[in-house]
Amino acid sequence: MQNAVSTMANEIVRIMAGDVYGIWLYGSVVMDDFRPGWSDIDFAALTNGPVSESQAEQLVTLRQQMLEKEPGNPYYRSFEGVIANLDEYRGKTFRRLVYWGTGGQRVTDRYEPDVFSAFELAKYGKPVYGGNPWILPAPGREELVRAVREHYESIRKYAVQTNESLYSCGWLLDIARCIYTLRTGDVISKTRAGAWALEEHLFPEEEPLRKTVEIRQDPQAFRDRDDVKQWLKGLGPVVQQYADVLEAELRSASACG
């Protein structure tokens, strides 16, 4: 993976003609929780000058270009992040940036960093080019609590029913991590959050979370199992039970200010 990271960083720098302030990794790859088949390689690349139209056109398809050059490399498709001008990123107003996400990539003038990602980037981000420390502050507790509440609302809306995707059990890890954030004001990896929740006995029904942590540790071993697919499809009620616990934590956090 390190070779893929170095190659990708060098390609971004080449396309930007060296006009790059810094490139950072964050998320699971920095928190020692990267799992092929589940995790992404999250990054942020900030440039000194604006990203031109021609540069954006090259950058937006860079993941595909690298896969074509090295079809056997499993990591290039995992890169997700943003390539944007530093000053525009600071001001949250963009003329042009390149975004790579799970659902595809695009050149756009709109981008709103996820609060959890912004926190991870600020506190745990690892520079892979430029050697510069992260220069933007981490979101404060109020922002984290608001982000947890928004995530809770998404769980209530979208996780009533689940499907065969391994990400269905990921809702349980998300809930555990949200509770950890509410209690500590910090962010940890999903696997560690699941293990922590089991140690703390946060949920009345622990076996689904225990199984989820096992799947998270080796997703490829479970992906094509019919029994796992059936289990994943029926997780909706369990996710909502776990969300009940998160709801109580949010009420407690609100009461404490």
Residue-wise pLDDT for 81-116, tens only, equals 999 999 999 999 999 999 999 889 999 999 998 999
In this structure, what token pair is assigned to residue 242? Answer: 């776990």
Average predicted confidence (pLDDT) for the chain: 95
Looking at the structure, do residues 145 and 109 belong to the same domain, yes or no? no
Q: What's the number of domains the chain is made of?
A: 2
pLDDT at site 191: 96
Type and span of the H or E element at 14: helix 2-15
In a domain, 135, yes or no: no
Q: Where a domain ends, among 81, 98, 129?
A: 129
In a domain, 21, yes or no: yes
Looking at the structure, do residues 73 and 182 belong to the same domain, yes or no? no
Give the 3-state secondary structure of 183-243: HHCCCCCHHHHHHHHHHHCCCCCCHHHHHHHHHHHCHHHCCCCHHHHHHHHCCHHHHHHHH
Full domain range(s) for residue 51: 2-129
Looking at the structure, do residues 236 and 182 belong to the same domain, yes or no? yes
Looking at the structure, do residues 9 and 99 belong to the same domain, yes or no? yes
The answer to whether residues 78 and 40 touch, using CB atoms and an 8 Å cutoff, is yes
Q: Where a domain ends, among 76, 98, 129?
A: 129
Q: What is the pTM of this model?
A: 0.92
Which residue type does 208 have?
A: P
Type and span of the H or E element at 19: none
Checking if the pLDDT of 56 tops 90, the result is yes
Looking at the structure, do residues 151 and 174 belong to the same domain, yes or no? yes
